Chain A
Amino acid sequence: AQSVTQLDSQVPVFEEAPVELRCNYSSSVSVYLFWYVQYPNQGLQLLLKYLSGSTLVESINGFEAEFNKSQTSFHLRKPSVHISDTAEYFCAVVPGGYQKVTFGTGTKLQVIP
């Protein structure tokens, strides 16, 4: 079985400051890793994913995440946040060969003007 831990339920950060949202996972098999974002009153949207290859993956709006196998982590970072980044962010894992996704409990990012 897989599990995902997002230790920070809320992260307040000032606009234009950097941010890191932490994600750790546990699995006995190889996994694929994802970050989803949920804006208020909307469904989740895929932000970025790691399937294979380079351990550093980027999104189109400036977020990046690095897969660290030894530390079983997939932390999400952005060097300078904007008000529009205010949302809830979910880390997720999928065991290779399966479709069932395990989501973390989410981290609410609040960007302060």
Chain B
Amino acid sequence: DAGVIQSPRHEVTEMGQEVTLRCKPISGHDYLFWYRQTMMRGLELLIYFNNNVPIDDSGMPEDRFSAKMPNASFSTLKIQPSEPRDSAVYFCASSLSAGSYEQYFGPGTRLTVT
């Protein structure tokens, strides 16, 4: 298996622009997680899905952030409009099923908002 795939790996955008991050989980995994990592706040869970349904989005910072999972093999995290404080590395992770707990992380997308 290719593992969790994220694109793009790097994104540089200007404040106010829309940013879309993409994730393809490992095939057969029921859970998908979006995290944000910064020096100041560490690793934060933004939202997670089970069988394409959002279960907990309490970590989503504000209405500018939205996430979707239209099918089992694809998810997006959108920021509109983007702000400099959104600069971070965004990780997507997936896990097999309830009770498996181990999460497999993608390589991350480094977002820079100028």
Contacts and interface: CB of A to CB of B under 8 A. Distances in A.
Please say whether chains A and B are actual partners in one complex: yes
Interface of A: 32, 34, 41-46, 49, 51, 90, 94, 99-101, 103-106
Interface of B: 4, 31, 33, 42-43, 45, 48, 50, 55-56, 91, 93, 95, 98, 101-108
B43 A49 contact: no
Contact of A90 (B43, B55, B98): B43
Given A101-B45, A103-B43, A51 B101 contact: yes
A23 to B, nearest CB: 14
B106 A43 contact: yes
A43 B91 contact: yes
Secondary structure class of chain B's binding surface, majority of residues: strand
A33 to B, nearest CB: 10
A106 B44 CA distance: 12
Contacts of A46: 102-104
B98 to A, nearest CB: 7
A99 B98 contact: yes
**Residue from A90, A100, A106 with most neighbouring chain B CB atoms (10 Å):** A100
6 contacts: A43-B4, A44-B93, A44-B105, A46-B102, A99-B101, A103-B42
A105 B101 contact: no
Contacts of A104: 42
Contacts of A42: 107-108
Contacts of A99: 31, 48, 50, 55, 95, 98, 101
A101 B103 contact: yes
A106 B48 contact: no
